[in-house]
Structure 1
Amino acid sequence: MKDQGHVAFILLGANLGDRQSNILQALQYIQVRANIAKVSSFYETEPLEGSDQPEYLNMACQIETNDGPKELLQFLKWVERRMGRTVSEKYAPRPIDIDLLLYDDLIIRESDLWIPHPRMHERAFTLIPLTEIAHDLVHPVLNETIEALAKKIDASTVKKVNRSLKFNLERDIQGGQPSINIGLSRVGITNLNRVIRLGSEDKAALFYANLDFFAYLDPSKAGVHMSRFADVLEGMLEEISLEPTPDIESLADRLALQVVQSQRAKKAEVHIKARYPMERVTPISAKKTEELFTFIGIASTNGTTSRRIIGVEAEGMTTCPCAQDMMAAHSRMLLEEAGYSKDDALKIVSLIPMATHNQRARGTLLVGSNMPVRAEHLVHIVEASMSSETYELLKRPDEFFVVNKAHQNARFAEDVVRHMFFNLVEIYPDLPDETFVLAREESFESIHQHNAFAERSGLLGDLRAELRNKGEAIQSNVTLEEWLNL
């Protein structure tokens, strides 16, 4: 939404029907023309003038709008009518009542518009909720803060109430016994999309992220409270969007701890994927381009100890060694048939890049360690393990570079995974042996209707031992699930 030019404060009230639902519905309508910046808690109060009618529920709200004060008032009156309010006697019961309290610091005294609201400083049910969201706001006529005005009046009849629609919860179904006594490994929700902020106060950026939440279910419980996963995120939403977290795995850890507490679970996992822009420079033309990569943060905690994963997904290019070898053999045969000697044919073929089929590929590299590893560095490791990296922007010389490099480095999916491990070991010699690593590559085949896939996971010490033993396998394929299972 574009920036709104004016700030206004309104009071919503209802004492007919489902009062909370009415106020929340009114807020939905208001968002059609205004941005809702802040809302107070719900407050219940007795009706004015001691009339014999249901108690009122009120909420104060700060909005940002491009409408002028008269246009805004007209829109608010439309919302009242849309929700069934009709013209009635003064102080009569109503499904919704919306008062325009303040608009910027304007003072307006007209027959159809009075700002600030003429009686707001006399009413506890207005000042108490307004103080919650704007305690230091100065009344433009009385020249006193809302908090100071609230302290001058009797607020004994105003009481805060919980924000929850009323229903009869006769029993906790999720917390009860399952109908079939089979335990489940983990239960949760996936594909929550939110904006997160990563970095430091001096340098931070917003990212569009996809989050998965899991709790390890007690076998005696029928299920988890699915809404509590979203509650964890919503409870931290303002914090994680306004206050940066240093890295994606730290945020996953914070959220996982909240899940353990809210679900009373033995253990919880949170998986986050965020699209991250990195500046690139093309290899020959040196053109700057910005490309998106996927950063991955995973955390598992039992409430006391945690394990974290930092990872990336990056795309590149692979070329097929098998098809290239067949093309080389065929080219040597053609040269020999044309009169070249076997040695000359072999030499010519060794000098010329041989054709082969190529495909885009996606590599994934995950690292679990207490030693910090930068996700940006993992991107370069994945790309360096491919036949060639790829670029969004390619001039002709860059295109030649990429194609030539890829055909000089023909690699299967299996080769890419091995290169990722080798590069990680060489570039991070100080990573502890107990570090968890997972490398995965999927090639989106160009001449087949299937994809090629390879993966290996394990502890870095075992992989180092395999490299030292020159290929003698050490069967220690620790899976991601096993490593996260504290």
Structure 2
Amino acid sequence: MNKTELNHNKSLPSKEERHKLFGSVKPGPRTKPIDKKGMADLQNSKKDFLFDIDMVGISNVKHPIRIPSQLTPEIQTTIGTFSFGSSIAQGSKGTNMSRFTEQLDQYHNEGFAVDIATMKEFTKELAGRLKQNDSEVEVTFPWFFERKGPYSDLTGMNYADATIRVEYHKETGHDITVSLTGKITTLCPCSKEISEYSAHNQRGNVTMTIKLTDDFNEQEVDWKAALLEAAESNASARIHPVLKRPDEKMVTEQAYENPRFVEDIVRLVAADLYEYDFVESFTVMCRNEESIHLHDAVASLSYDKKQERE
């Protein structure tokens, strides 16, 4: 027989025998209840369990979501990565994990649009479902936006990584923190200064984390677009998915005209965030993927506007 031909003459035991060979056994006697009412609920046990728990929940939950946006595309479907949690008092043993995903599925079936108002409603309802005074939800997702070439007007799709974190407490209400990481081009001022006819540039990653004011109105301001503009407008140049030669000429010349260190980026972005009325406090970090080094260059700063009022 030709060596390349398969031998189909092997005699195999039945599938049941194969499973038995690899350790499967027949079901044993069933003595415990099979309906929920008759089952023990260990997580709802009430005793002195030594300590309060700050947070218990689940994380790395991936789920389809809808994102409203003031930039095109205005309605988009993407994948959100969720974490859910709540505190547990010393007298309670634990939480019912299934209630987190149960509520997520309920919202999904109703057309889950991830915006600030919906997330506030979600956390308040979740605390009630868990029979706790508080809950917290965080979701991270890629947010897409259309970008045109500066000369050709040819469009493509860019994205930034966005995060919404909402903490709810029955007595104090909601605390909302949002974050956006956008990519930019930076050109090295030192390289431009010392070189005869060149300057190295690199891709920068600007991460802005802000606490929203209590009166933030998402109908008036798309926080995602505002943070993106803060990062990109202070860069050496913006990132483009489609560039023809006239576009490339404009972008590279713009970068040469606007050299930026990572220190420059975080200060300039911070100035924009400071001027946004809906920002209560913020942290800005820039990380440059250096083109002539193996290391990255990083800088960060934080500022809290409340300090000025104290």
- How would you bin the TM-score normalised by the shorter chain? 0.7 to 0.9
Contact 1:193/1:211 (CA < 8 Å) preserved in 2? yes
Aligned equivalent of 1:194, options 24, 38, 63: 63
Determine the C-alpha separation between the residues in 2 that align with 1:193 and 1:283: 36
2:174 maps to which of 297, 306, 315: 306
Corresponding residue for residue 459 of structure 1: 304
1:287 is aligned to: 154
Within a 5 Å distance, the mapping from 1:351-430 to structure 2 comes to: 354-369=198-213, 370-372=215-217, 373-374=221-222, 375-426=224-275, 428=276
Q: 1:166 aligns with which of 22, 35, 40?
A: 35
Equivalent in the alignment of 2:98: 227
- Please give the alpha-carbon distance, in whole angstroms, between the structure 1 residues aligned to 2:138 and 2:205: 23
Match of 1:277 in 2: 144
Task: Give the 3 Å change call, closer, same or farther, for CA 448–262 of structure 1 in structure 2.
Answer: farther
Provide closer, same or farther for how the CA distance between residues 320 and 196 of structure 1 changes in structure 2, counting only shifts above 3 A. Answer: same
How high is the TM-score relative to the length of structure 2?
0.72
| Residue of 133, 144, 166 corresponding to 1:266 | 133
1:216 and 1:196, CA in 2 relative to 1: closer, same or farther beyond 3 A?
same
Instruction: Give the match for residue 71 of structure 1.
Output: none
Aligned residues: 267
Alignment match, 2:121: 254
Percent identity of paired positions between Structure 1 and Structure 2: 21
**Higher deviation after alignment, 259-268 or 406-415:** 406-415
Q: CA deviation at 1:297?
A: 2.1
Identify if the C-alpha distance between structure 1 residues 199 and 359 changes in structure 2 by more than 3 Å, giving closer, same or farther.
Answer: closer
CA contact (8 A) 1:212 1:270 kept: yes
SS at match of 2:150: coil
1:354-385 alpha-carbon deviations (Å, 9 max, x no partner):
41352342433434122223122221112113
Mapped to 2, the partners of 1:172 and 1:256 lie a distance apart of: 24
Q: Partners of 2:207 and 2:236 in 1: how far apart?
A: 12
* Contact 1:279 1:291 (C-alpha < 8 Å) held by counterparts: yes
Contact 1:312 1:378 survives alignment (8 Å): yes
Asked whether the 8 Å contact 1:314–1:363 carries over to 2, the reply is yes
After superposition, what is the alpha-carbon deviation per residue over 1:151-182, rounded to whole angstroms, capped at 9, x for unaligned? xxxxxxxxxxxxx9636633424655687x45
Shift of 1:281: 1.4
CA deviations on 1:368-409 (whole Å, 9 max, x unpaired) are 122223122221112113232101111122223333333333
Residue 318 of structure 1 aligns with which residue? 186
CA–CA distance in 1 between the matches of 2:90 and 2:185?
46
Distance 1:380 1:225 in 2: 41
Residues 204 and 393 from structure 1, CA distance in 2 versus in 1: closer, same or farther, beyond 3 angstroms? closer
Q: Could you list the per-position Cα deviations for residues 240-261 of structure 1 after superposition, in whole angstroms to 9, with x for gaps in the alignment?
A: 34xxx4x622222122112211
Question: 2:286 maps to what in 1?
Answer: 441
Aligned to 1:483: none
Q: Which amino acid aligns with 2:237?
A: S
Q: Distance in 2 between matches of 1:301 and 1:178?
A: 25
The offset of 1:233, in angstroms, is 0.8
Supply the distance in 1 between the matched residues of 2:94 and 2:295 (Cα, whole angstroms). Answer: 38
Q: Which has a greater percent of strand?
A: 2
**TM-score with structure 1 setting the length:** 0.48
- Structure 1 residue 454: deviation in Å? 3.2
Unaligned runs of 5+ in 2: 1-32
Residues 165 and 365 (structure 1), Cα distance of their counterparts in 2 relative to 1, 3 Å cut: same
Structure 1: which 5+ runs fail to align?
Answer: 1-163, 332-348, 466-473, 477-486
Secondary structure (helix, strand or coil) at the match of 2:77 reads strand
User: d(CA) in 2 for partners of 1:409 and 1:216?
Assistant: 48
Greater gyration radius? 1
Higher relative contact order (CA 8 A, sep 6+): 2
Q: Which has the higher helix share?
A: 1
Question: For residues 266 and 218 of structure 1, what CA distance do their matches in structure 2 show?
Answer: 10
Q: How many angstroms apart in 2 are the aligned matches of 1:220 and 1:293?
A: 43
Distance in 1, matches of 2:48 and 2:295, equals: 41
Aligned-residue CA RMSD (Å) = 3.3
Deviation at 1:184, TM superposition (A): 4.0
The within-5 A match list for 1:470-485 is: none
In 2, distance between residues paired with 1:439 and 1:191?
A: 25
The aligned amino acid for 1:363 is T
Q: Which amino acid aligns with 2:298?
A: F
